[in-house]
Chains A and B, each alone.
Chain A
Amino acid sequence: QQQVKQSPQSLIVQKGGISIINCAYENTAFDYFPWYQQFPGKGPALLIAIRPDVSEKKEGRFTISFNKSAKQFSLHIMDSQPGDSATYFCAASKADYKLSFGAGTTVTVRA
């Protein structure tokens, strides 16, 4: 079964707008929560990651918000640009080498 549930499946945002993608997990043993960005025909590339001892992490226009009690985390893309159009995956792992991925969100930024 899907260990990490991701929504929405797709979203369209105007240039300069905010894109928000949400993920939820059940396994409380997860302790590492990365987000990956994937362009068509390419492999996923690590975008930003967070650990559960931090409630928010920001890198440039990308911010992860983490709610440990609700077992949810989200990615915010501020000032969305056409170059941000891609598929975004949340993921989670325990203290090992396996990543459990969400199903992905296709983001389209309209100029």
Chain B
Amino acid sequence: NAGVMQNPRHLVRRRGQEARLRCSPMKGHSHVYWYRQLPEEGLKFMVYLQKENIIDESGMPKERFSAEFPKEGPSILRIQQVVRGDSAAYFCASSPSSVRANYGYTFGSGTRLTVV
């Protein structure tokens, strides 16, 4: 039973390029959460998605960032025109339901984005 799978593990982008981060939730989980961890800081909530729906994107920067969780396939976090400040570790978590979902969070190993 695979856990939350994220890829790539490491991603290097030049300023102005696009970054696409993928997250496959645990089997049977239909709720996905993205968190960002800046250097020397804790994780910060970005967005909560269910299949084909964005439930809460209150933690997403207003520009350049978007997320989706299509009916088929992994959840995608997309960062357009990356800047150096986007360098961080991006973690995805999943849960089987939204009821007290944080009780059942399972995090993936993350994608470490470096913008050069």
Contacts and interface: CB of A to CB of B under 8 A. Distances in A.
Contacts of A103: 40-42
Interface stretch (A11-19, A37-45, A57-65, A66-74): A37-45
Nearest to A32: B102
Contacts of A4: 42
A6 B42 CA distance: 10
Interface residues on A, range: 20 to 34
Contacts of B40: 9, 103-104
B25 interface: no
Interface of B: 4, 31, 33, 35, 40-45, 48, 56, 91, 93, 95, 98, 100-103, 105, 107-110
Interface of A: 4, 6, 9, 32, 34, 41-46, 49, 89, 91, 93, 95-104
19 contacts: A32-B102, A32-B103, A34-B102, A43-B4, A43-B91, A43-B108, A44-B91, A46-B105, A49-B103, A89-B42, A91-B42, A93-B102, A96-B101, A96-B102, A97-B48, A97-B98, A97-B102, A101-B43, A104-B41
